[in-house]
Amino acid sequence: MVGQDSAVDVYRQALPVILVSLVAGLFAGTLLGTETMREGIRSVPGILLLLPAFLATRGGVYGSLGARLSSGLHQGLIDPHFEWNDRLRNAVVASFLNGMIVSVLIAVLAWGVLLVLGRSGNLLELIIILVVAALLSAFAMLGVLLTVLFKGYRRGLDPDNVIGPVVTTVGDVFGVVFLLIGIEVAGVIL
């Protein structure tokens, strides 16, 4: 990556990703409207309360990782060919832990809001759902993020132009799907 991108270069790189994000976002919305998701919302008090926070933190935690790795690539601190070195490992582990800890915190806060509102809720159920969803989404998001980041960079794309929409879209689509899986897992466990 030499020099600065022109506005046309940024537009050329970002537009296809944004269009794919638009379609994927509509797909995530469609998933929210399915009977399975509506049943999950009905059966698990607090799930609708924590959904926006959970999805937002996927984008925040892994968007931050993408920005950190993108900066490392631009500065020459990270090799553009995937190599599991200390710098990459530390960034990935920190993001993974942040995502897991924040997910448990979201479950606790959602349960607390339910109590304040005088509604019933099962803290253990919310924690199980979010731990399962966070774990599955971490693996999916890390795989997609690292692939897009390194392959895109090697193909001449500026990761700063594409990683944001990719991370938020993947977080939304996989986040909704993995919340459904978390609801099923919690139903089996409890």
Q: Could you tell me the two tokens for 2?
A: 């030499």
Q: How confident is the model at residue 3 (pLDDT cuts 50, 70, 90)?
A: low
Specify the CATH number for 7-189; select among 3.20.20.70, 1.10.3720.10, 3.40.50.720, 1.10.357.20. Answer: 1.10.357.20
How confident is the model at residue 1, as a pLDDT? 46
Beta-carbon contacts of 5 under 8 Å, excluding residues fewer than 6 positions away, are: 13, 158, 161
Say if pTM beats, i.e. exceeds, 0.95.
no
**For residue range 69-102, what is the model confidence (pLDDT) as tens digits?**
998 888 888 888 878 888 889 999 999 999 999 9
Domain spans of the chain? Answer: 7-189
C-alpha closest to that of 174 among 133, 143, 146, 142:
133
**For residue range 35-74, what is the model confidence (pLDDT) as tens digits?**
877 887 788 999 989 999 999 999 889 999 998 999 888 8
